[in-house]
Structure 1
Amino acid sequence: MPNSLHHRAVEHVGSRIVDGSIPTGEVVLASEIETELGVSRSVVREAVRVLASAGLVVSTKRVGIRVLPPEDWNPFDPLVIRWRLASGGLGAQLRSLTELRVAVEPMAAELAAEHAPDEFCGELLNLAAQMRHAGRSGDLHTFLELDIRFHALVLAASGNEMFANLANPIGETLRGRTELGLMPERPHEEALTWHQAVADAISAHVPQDARASMEKIMRRTNQEICGVWADKPRIFPHPKH
């Protein structure tokens, strides 16, 4: 029960901050959240800790919980990603993660072809085969989970721990695209072929082929959904010292 109450408090405040219902700069009192949700001070305190770790709020003693501007939010936090996808920030969120993927994943595939351990190669080949089967049979739920695992494994196989830690935000975005109906009804045959080509190139240790095939996947992804963010303004956070 406490975990349920904690989740409810995090969702209630966090989603409202992200969709703008609680505006930047507003100060919220813990007592107000307690009364509104009927929860204890300890539940609110833990919820605020989660929101602060995501960069959404800062808690000041004897003042309250102040809402921070979007440029202070952690753009890699899965909660922030999910809330942005569910709000007016959908386009901007998809653009940010898609552009990041276009930049990073081809390099990750190249590095994986150079450095991936044998067990990673075997799993990638198995995943590619399963993706082909699930995609052709129209099992989109299974295909989604396999796709998330495939891309997470390529990132991990690069041997770069910063790349590997992009797996969760990318997975959250892929799930969000599917839930919002922004995925094709069936995966394109080309995409299935390119995933197989990535797995083959990594397993054969051919870096340039792995990079080229992943580049095709990412460019196709960008082309499919770029219309969603065509009119969305970009965020230009000032570099922090």
Structure 2
Amino acid sequence: MAQAVHGSVLDDLGVRIAGGELEAGQVLTLAALEEHYAVSRTVVREAVRVLESMGLLVSRRRVGITVQPTRDWNALDTTLIRWRLRGNSRSQQLVALTELRSAIEPVAAKLAASRASQRERTRLLELAAQLQALGASERGDSPEYLQADIEFHDLILDASGNALLAAVKEPIAQVLAGRANLGLTPARPLHDALHNHVLTAQAIADGDPLAAEKHSKGYLDTILGEVLIIHDAAIGEAPEFESETPDTP
């Protein structure tokens, strides 16, 4: 009997669905999952309950547990994002989240230029300087760079003064961390991306909404170009699912 390979039934089953091993429309049963993972019925029920809350599964009497199509998933759930970044759809997930950032962050930067507090403006300049220094020393792939980058983008979203824009902080943090964990963040960041981070911070500090929007769009255009290259390179690769469990319930 297979054991969960990612620490829990929930994690393993979630990765298998998010990665496409278990396809939409496939019907599972509690008994088969219980046998597959060699765990109690209670553990299986709890995992299924959580996956149902995320839109990945639906349970119906006399039908079973059905895997749902991606359109029904809670796409901004941070756990689901992590699972998708670990599976075959990682490049598509990077593109989709970067496209979301491109739609949101320039607007947030524009609003932040008008609404940010003086403390927020000062902190953005400090973070931009830190990113620039780490990038110049070819530490763009370091934990310190990732931490500063996440704080930089979180702060722009918070400083927008719009709670709905700020609500996407966690998904954005996940895509930044996901790129780093996959080894896709360059040690020396692309000049246009890093330079536009600095210019965005300066525009917000100066209270220039149009410049803040322009330079935020500038770094996101560069980043989107990077992830599209990653996506194009991934097309045609052999499927690579991380679970070591050959049998499928």
The whole-number CA distance in structure 2 between the counterparts of 1:181 and 1:205 is 36
2:85 pairs with 1:85:
yes
TM-score, structure 2 as length reference: 0.83
Contact 1:6 1:46 in 2 (8 A): no
Which consecutive residues of structure 2, in runs of 5 or more, have no partner in the other structure?
A: 236-249
Show the counterpart of 1:57.
57
The percentage of counterpart residues that share the same residue type is 42
Contact 2:193 2:220 in 1 (8 A): no
2:32 pairs with 1:32:
yes
List aligned pairs for 1:71-150, cutoff 5 A.
71-139=71-139, 140-150=142-152
What's the RMSD between the two structures over aligned residues? 2.3
Offset of residue 171 of structure 1: 1.4
Offset of residue 210 of structure 1: 0.8
- CA separation of 1:193 and 1:229: change in aligned 2, threshold 3 A: closer
Secondary structure of the residue aligned to 1:182 is coil
Contact 1:15 1:83 in 2 (8 A): yes
Contact 1:6 1:43 in 2 (8 A): no
Contact 2:6 2:12 in 1 (8 A): no
2:74 pairs with 1:67:
no
- Structure 1 residue aligned with 2:180, among 178, 184, 206? 178
The whole-number CA distance in structure 2 between the counterparts of 1:118 and 1:43 is 50
The whole-number CA distance in structure 2 between the counterparts of 1:186 and 1:95 is 21
Which consecutive residues of structure 1, in runs of 5 or more, have no partner in the other structure?
A: 233-241
Contact 1:5 1:39 in 2 (8 A): no
Amino acid at match of 2:97: L
The whole-number CA distance in structure 2 between the counterparts of 1:170 and 1:226 is 17
Show the counterpart of 1:237.
none
Contact 1:194 1:213 in 2 (8 A): yes
Task: Judging by fraction of residues, say which structure has more helix.
Answer: 1
Tell which has more relative contact order, 1 or 2 (C-alpha 8 A, sep 6+).
2
Secondary structure of the residue aligned to 2:189 is coil
Equivalent pairs, count: 229
- CA separation of 1:219 and 1:25: change in aligned 2, threshold 3 A: same
The whole-number CA distance in structure 2 between the counterparts of 1:52 and 1:185 is 39
